[in-house]
Amino acid sequence: MRIVDGVSRSLNEFLLHPNLTGENCTPENIDLSAPLVRHRADGQSPVRVALPLVSAIMEAVSSPEMAIALAQAGGLSFIHQNQPVAREADDVRTVKQHKAGFRHSDLNVKPSATLGEVSELLRGAGQDVAVVTSDGTGDGVFLGLIRKDDFFLGRHPADLPVSERMRPAADLVTAGPSISLQDANTLLWDQRLDVLPVVREDGRLAALVLRRDYLLHKRFASESVDGEKRFLVGAGINTRDYEDRVPALVAAGADLLCTDSSDGYSVWQERTLKFIAARYPEVHCGAGNVIDGRGFRFLAAAGAAFVKVGIGGGSICTTRAQKGIGRGQATALIDVIRERDAYARETGWYVPVCCDGGVATEKEMSVALALGADFIMLGRVFAGTRESPSRKVTIDGKVFKEYWGEGSRRAQNAARYGQGEEDLAFPEGVDGLVPYTGSLHDNLPVTIAKIKATMVSCGATTLRAFHETAVLEPVPDATASQNGAQVMMRDRVAAAAAS
């Protein structure tokens, strides 16, 4: 038995001291780009992202829609593995069908579909327009577009076919498959279009160019794309069916993989990593989760492309309460990052660290990055957005989205938790709700602005400089709770008056 010295601390128990801010240390000069996979310590990572945020390997968080939206903003998603192999591969394939600027059409109907059906489809997807093709697929013969303002169910019968109200292809501006993205965007603006269908010579739909995507590019500038300008996407795997799952995900085009486990310090992860290295040496696979230098060293030596840190710190995780396993997220990061840097000095290989869990606010994100995390995996933060796959629920006039842990009874992700059963013997997560926060693309600019503002105050323009120069101090509960204690916030006053 060994008792570890010191106090196990969360990210929220630290504050940053300001450093000298130079003339060039301004928000527009901050570089948030980060390495995702191992590389020579004196070189560049072969996979980098402009935004050091990735979505959690969770059924309630990471869908193809989330992956596309996050890649557009410069981050990356990991499609969850708690589903059949073929379905996860299909999700990866869906993301890889999209090129930056050229969208594969995901919202399609046949001309025989009814207005009631298309109305439900548009409402469920939160979109304004659907594509009409001969067979209702994204590569069928292009017949036209149907927008939500092309009909009104109070006036037009719900059983009226789409063909009666759609805008036919002959009346629309379209482009050929050889058009460049620059020319397509010019056509969008010159013709005052929201959607430009790109149609092949045989009349089949090739892609869509959207005004919305142009505006997002101007807003975020650095999409996460591969050499063919397709969006990057990751995929989760487990240590049980990896011999079947990995080949399918590689064939589907996954850019990197990650073992999904609550406890990564195991021979099972080592075997999985070595299988991938032997069969697919070009494939990057991260591993985790661990909470100390021993776990990091083990996985790095086994070939992990990156290592995830955190056990029990997630808002819907109950591993600490159920099994007594875990560690404060800040303390775990400090230990692992110390080992990461030692490993780089000894071997010449830098293995990035991902902070997974214990992060709910931009303050905690900044502290994690200052401690040395290369990137951050987020569940709850992204679960409340429109792009997450879970259902919206309205309670007492407030809108929420369902959010459940992979260790909950609802998920039954037995492959993630080493309980020695085909089904979970006991839950290690809960099933709940998080406030609905709207579009990811409306939330991320605020998050980015806050992190950049923190870095400006700390006098750093890169994440590496932020880590190397950051001054942090643990704070007692009294200091942490002081903010907001002197003034009653207006929303509390309003709530009290209403009651």
Which of 225, 271, 212 has the alpha carbon at shortest distance from 100?
225
Rounded to whole angstroms, how far apart are CA atoms 83 and 455? Answer: 39
Measured CA to CA, the distance from residue 389 to residue 341 in angstroms comes to 37
Helix (H/G/I), strand (E/B), else coil: 468: helix
DSSP 84-107: -HHHHHHHHHHHHTPBTTBBPP--
Q: Which amino acid is at 173?
A: V
CA distances 256 to 76, 244, 470, Å, are 10, 16, 30
Token couple for 201: 């010579």
| Residue reference for tokens 């069916």 | 241
Q: What is the DSSP letter of 404?
A: E
Provide the β-strand partners of residue 287.
Answer: 307
User: One-letter amino acid identity for 305?
Assistant: A
* Spatial distance between the Cα atoms of 107 and 105, rounded to a whole number of angstroms: 6
Which pair of structure tokens corresponds to residue 363?
């303050």
Beta-strand (E) ranges in 327-387? Answer: 349-350, 353-356, 375-378
Of 317, 354, 355, 458, which is the active-site residue?
A: 317
User: Is 416 an active-site residue?
Assistant: yes
Q: One of 9, 38, 48, 416 is an active-site residue; which one?
A: 416
CA atoms of 174 and 206, how far apart (whole Å): 11
Q: Pull the structure tokens for residue 474.
A: 């643990």
2 is catalytic: no
Active site (catalytic) residues: 317, 416
